[in-house]
Amino acid sequence: MKYRKIIVYVALGFVISSLFLAFYFFFKKPLKISTPFLDQERKAIVFKDVKYSGEKRGIVDWEIKSKITRKFIDKPIVEMEDIDGMYRPKPDVTVFFKGTSGSMDTEAEKGTVENVDIIYKGNYTLKSRFMDFDFKKGITSTTAPVNIKGAKLTLRGIGLTANTNEETVRIEKDVTGYIETEKGKYRFESDSFIYFLKDSKYILDSRVVMKGEEMNLLCDKLIIFSKGDEVEKIDAKGKVRLISKGTIAKSEKAVYYFKEDRIVLTDRPKILKDNVEMDGESIVYSLSSGKFFINKPKMRIEK
């Protein structure tokens, strides 16, 4: 009987203490904190207005800001929304970018930005559905279509790789676009495109077509040399075909000198018009007059 009373008292005490604790936490419950808070389903802490950055030799070389950031508890991964950032591939060059969302490995300093807009030197903009970046290796890439617009150059293609250490930008395939010069606008297409920033040199590679107002140029490879925003000359190599007003000039090499407004074809050059073929040491095409000039010609009539 004695033990039964003890058990009843203990049980009653447990009930009273439980009720007391319940009332205490009911009236003393913590206020809700907007940020940060825990995303239980994804094991992440959510922050607002977060900034990440990296340094090289004490200088900030990249920075990413986001309106909403989810920082995972069990791994160095963050998910970001409404992204705004910058990257310095060189001390005197700053690239700005924006995106709707993305993710990043904060330890490896690499990730992805969705629906990205990139602004380079205030002159060129690049748009793509997504862009992968690796700040440590200095590589930015995508397999999606890209659209590049600048004051003098417009490009479209599929897939891009930018290597800041090599100072190159490559579009992988299906390249189309145009370049504006003091001589007019030239449209082009090729299988691939690469830009060497240090040398201000563009290379269009494989099945290249360049179209002007009065002529079409076809070749295996086209190299555009520029100075500032102006084109200085264009080298065409491999199975060169220059077509203008019914005349076809063929060679293995041609150089377009912009200041002189002429194209010089060398390496077995020949010209074909009205079933008449002429060979020569070189062939010069004047864009201003639309005429061909043959140096030391040799004529052959095709039947």
φ/ψ (deg, to 5) at 19: -65, -40
Q: What is the mean pLDDT of residues 216-225?
A: 96
Residue 246, Cβ density class (10 Å: 0-12 exposed, 13-18 middle, ≥19 buried): exposed
Q: How confident is the model at residue 39 (pLDDT cuts 50, 70, 90)?
A: low
pTM of the predicted protein model: 0.78
Q: What is the mean pLDDT of residues 207-225?
A: 94
pLDDT of 301 over the 70 cut: no
Summary mean pLDDT of the chain: 83
- Specify the pLDDT at position 300: 59
pLDDT of 6 over the 80 cut: no
Q: What is the mean pLDDT of residues 62-80?
A: 92
- Specify the pLDDT at position 40: 53
The tokens for 91 are: 């001390």
252 vs 273 pLDDT, higher one:
252
Q: What is the DSSP string of 145-198?
A: EEEEE-SSEEEEEEEEEEETTTTEEEEEEEEEEEEEETTEEEEEEESEEEEETT
74 vs 141 pLDDT, higher one:
141
- Specify the pLDDT at position 256: 95
Task: Name the β-bridge partners of 216.
Answer: 211, 243
- Specify the pLDDT at position 15: 35
pLDDT of 28 over the 80 cut: no
Q: What is the mean pLDDT of residues 99-112?
A: 94
